[in-house]
Copies of this chain bind each other. A is one copy, B any other.
Amino acid sequence: MIDWGNLARRPCSWLAEESSAGVILSTRIRLARNLTGRFFPQHAPRNERRGLLQEILDKTQSLEMFEGGHRLALQALEPLQRQLLGERQLVSQELVESPEERGVVVSGDERLSFMINEEDHVRMQAIRPGVDLDGAWRAVDALDDDLDGRLDFAFSSTLGFLTSCPTNVGTGMRASVQAHLPAVVLNKDLERLIEDLRSKRLAIRGFYGEGSAAFGNFFQVSNGTTLGVREAEILERLDAAARELADWEERARQALLSRARSLLEDKVWRSFGILRHARVLGAPETLNHASLLRLGVSLDFLKIPLRTLDEILLCAQPAHAQLLGGADGGTEVDARRAAMVREKLQHVER
């Protein structure tokens, strides 16, 4: 049994420790795999999907790396609990919204996991704090080897791994870095950055607030198609991208400082004042203020552990704030979120 209130309060272990925190929040590698001789999930009859979920859960039960973690059939969870898993980057929005015959297996530290019956039969992922493509790759590769010994993955000697969507055929790999780019956004450099990334066949999208708006100026940058590209090449490309993203952000920060230092400082301190004292806080507003504080800390305007801000960014999300509940379960969620944020910022050295 999961203690959801406790989980909602607990920072992810892949949040960076102070030393490594910065523009790149985390690195993630995902591998898509399918079982030989079966329909892809969206073409499989419900019966077959149900059987497959059970089969995969059974065959992976003894995996050592998931001891102390969770093995979950999503259908058995409340919508809010699924959403919490989504906010912690453990399941996709697809699984949050359509849990039927789908599952997720998560390691105790949440750094390693795999979804069952998403777009593909198995989607593994490894997350690491900061820029760590090697570490994430080694972890997900080891999991891939382990699973391959238990499940028969579909592989073509000419195409590579077969996947439901043609863009994933080949390595079935998507590597991404989660970048915090507040100065790029404030300095109106985002469009130029997106063009630059596109020319390098890299994709960018919002990190918090999936898809549409990039709340808090967090972005996820990943490789595009994987067919005809080797794993090592993808890792190298993302590693270079991570360095470039940091450079873009740094240049934008310098431009902002030389052009509008005092207005920027004011903006940051107002965000601090609001987060430190507000009694009612919505999620998008909180993410945006915390994002500005993260920038302010990097610019030495004020002293708050980045780790504290990253915890706020995680726990201010809708399902997290809702599940914080506990003793004051009757309070409105926006009031509960504000109380959580105030508490985290209470002892901040200014």
Q: Which A residues are closer than 8 A to B by beta carbons?
A: 262-263, 265-266, 269-270, 272-280, 332, 335, 338
The residue that A269 contacts in the complex, of B262, B272, B279, with Cβ under 8 A, is B279
The residue that A278 contacts in the complex, of B266, B277, B335, B338, with Cβ under 8 A, is B266
CB distance from A214 to the nearest CB of B (A): 24
Q: How many copies does the complex hold?
A: 2
CB distance from A260 to the nearest CB of B (A): 10
The docked-state distance in angstroms from the alpha carbon of A81 to that of B341 is 45
The residue that A266 contacts in the complex, of B262, B265, B272, B338, with Cβ under 8 A, is B338
The residue that A280 contacts in the complex, of B262, B280, B335, with Cβ under 8 A, is B262
CB distance from A282 to the nearest CB of B (A): 11
Chain B hits for A272, CB < 8 A: 273, 277
Q: Look across to chain B and name the residue whose beta carbon is closest to the beta carbon of A342.
A: B269
Chain B hits for A280, CB < 8 A: 262-263, 266
Given A263-B280, A273-B278, 8 new contacts (CB under 8 A): A262-B332, A262-B335, A266-B278, A266-B279, A266-B338, A269-B277, A273-B277, A276-B277
CB distance from A270 to the nearest CB of B (A): 5
In order of increasing CB-CB distance, the 9 nearest A-B pairs are: A273-B273, A273-B277, A266-B279, A266-B280, A269-B277, A265-B279, A273-B274, A270-B278, A269-B279
Q: Look across to chain B and name the residue whose beta carbon is closest to the beta carbon of A265.
A: B279
The docked-state distance in angstroms from the alpha carbon of A73 to that of B288 is 53
Q: Look across to chain B and name the residue whose beta carbon is closest to the beta carbon of A273.
A: B273
CB distance from A22 to the nearest CB of B (A): 24
The docked-state distance in angstroms from the alpha carbon of A94 to that of B318 is 56
Chain B hits for A338, CB < 8 A: 266
